[in-house]
Amino acid sequence: MRTRRIGNLEVSALGLGCMGMSWAYGAVPDRAAMIGLLRSAVDRGVTFFDTAEMYGPHTNEELLGEALQPLRSRVVIATKFGFAIGVPPTPDGPALDSRPENIRRVAEASLRRLRTDVIDLFYQHRVDPAVPIEDVAGAVKDLIQAGKVRHFGLSEASAATVRRAHAVQKVTALQSEYSLWERRVETGVMPVLEELGIGLVPYSPLGRGFLTGALDATTPFAEGDFRNNLPRFAPEARKANRALVDLLGRIGARKGATPAQVALAWLLAQKPWIVPIPGTTRLARLEENLGAVDLELSAGDLGDLEAALKAIEVHGARYPEALERMTGR
C-alpha cells in the first residue's frame, strides 16, 4: 500500500470510513464480521480509520476499539466531537456543542471507547456558530499538550474558519465531502489547504455508493437508511445522475477498472495531499477500492474526464436544507 502525507501525518493512500459498520445505512451489520473486515483492512495495508462519537452514537468507536486494539501500533485512528449527543434536534438541524468543556469530556470518553491512550486525529465534526473557532482550537491544543490527542482536524469548515483555527493550533486535515459529483470544496477551500500545508480527507468519495454503479433509480433503500432523506437519492435524481456513472463505466472499460476505481483514482490524481476514506461493509468492495491506488489516470484520461463532466449536470441537493446549512461555516 502506498502512503501519503496529510499535514505531517503519514497514512495509507486510502483510508477506511467506518460509519456504515454501525449506523446510517439501515440494519447494523454483524459485529464479528465487521471486526474481521477491519482487521483484514490492516492486513491489506490500510492504516487510516475514521469514526466519530456521533456514529451510533458511540457504538462505532467501541467497534473500532475492540477490532484495532491488538493492532494499535499499526494504525491511525481519527474520531470527531461537536454534536450534542442526546439533545433533540433544533429547526436548524442536529444540536451542536463545541464548548471546550464538552470537547474535553468527549475526548476522555472516546479514549475509553477506542481502548487507546491517544487520539491520532481529533476533528470538529461541524463548526459550532455558538463557540468561537479559536476556543475550539485552543481546547484541542490543550489536549495535544496533555498527550491525549496528536493532531487537530476540522470537518466541512470554510476557508476563513480553517485560517482562524490554524492560527491557534495547526490544522492537520480538513474532512469534507468531495467526489466527482460534489466539487464545491475545490473553489474556495483547497487553495487555502495547499497554502497552509493541510491535508484533505474526502468522505463519501463514491457518492454514498452511487458512483460504484450498483444503484439505479429503482434500487430500494432499507428502513433507517439515511439516503432515503437525501434529495440526490430521490428516484428521479438517481435516474438523471446515471449519466455520471455511465461516463465512469466507459473510462473504466478502457482502463480495465471499475467505476468506483476510476472515481477514487480521479480523486487521488487531484493533489498528493488528498486521502479519500471510502466506506464499505464487504471485503470484496474493500479490495476493489484499494485497487484504485494502483490505477494510473494519464493527463489525457483526466482531460477526457473533465471535458465530459462539463456536459453532465448533477441533480439534487446533497443534504436537506437544515443539514446543508451546517456546512461551509
pLDDT in tens, 6-48: 999 999 999 999 999 999 999 999 999 999 999 999 999 999 9
- Per DSSP, what are the bridge partners of residue 154? 124, 174
Q: If residue 45 lies in a helix (H) or strand (E), which one and from where to where? A: none
Determine the pLDDT at residue 6: 98
Q: Is residue 245 part of a domain?
A: yes
Query: Among all chains, which residue has been given the C-alpha cell 471535458?
Result: 307
Burial class (CB in 10 A: 0-12, 13-18, 19+), 31: middle
Determine the pLDDT at residue 274: 98
Determine the pLDDT at residue 232: 97
pLDDT in tens, 310-325: 999 999 999 999 999 9
DSSP per-residue codes, 276-312: ---B-S-HHHHHHHHGGGG-PPPHHHHHHHHHHHTT-
Q: Is residue 170 part of a domain?
A: yes
Q: What is the total count of domains within the chain?
A: 1
230: pLDDT strictly greater than 90: yes
Q: Is residue 108 part of a domain?
A: yes
Confidence of residue 92 (pLDDT cuts 50, 70, 90): confident
**Residue among 55, 123, 178, 203 flagged as catalytic:** 55
Q: Is residue 329 part of a domain?
A: no
DSSP per-residue codes, 60-73: HHHHHHHHHGGGGG
pLDDT in tens, 118-169: 999 999 999 999 999 999 999 999 999 999 999 999 999 999 999 999 999 9
Q: Is residue 244 part of a domain?
A: yes
Determine the pLDDT at residue 93: 87
Q: Is residue 109 part of a domain?
A: yes
- Mean pLDDT score across all residues of the chain: 97
132 contact partners, CB below 8 Å, separation of at least 6: none
CA distance 96 to 186: 26
Q: Is residue 116 part of a domain?
A: yes
Determine the pLDDT at residue 164: 98
Q: Is residue 217 part of a domain?
A: yes
Q: Is 55 a catalytic residue?
A: yes
**Residue 240 structural domain:** 3-324
90: pLDDT strictly greater than 90: no
Determine the pLDDT at residue 258: 98
Determine the pLDDT at residue 240: 96
Q: What is the CATH number of the domain that holds 104?
A: 3.20.20.100
254: pLDDT strictly greater than 90: yes
pLDDT in tens, 266-310: 999 999 999 999 999 999 999 999 999 999 999 999 999 999 999
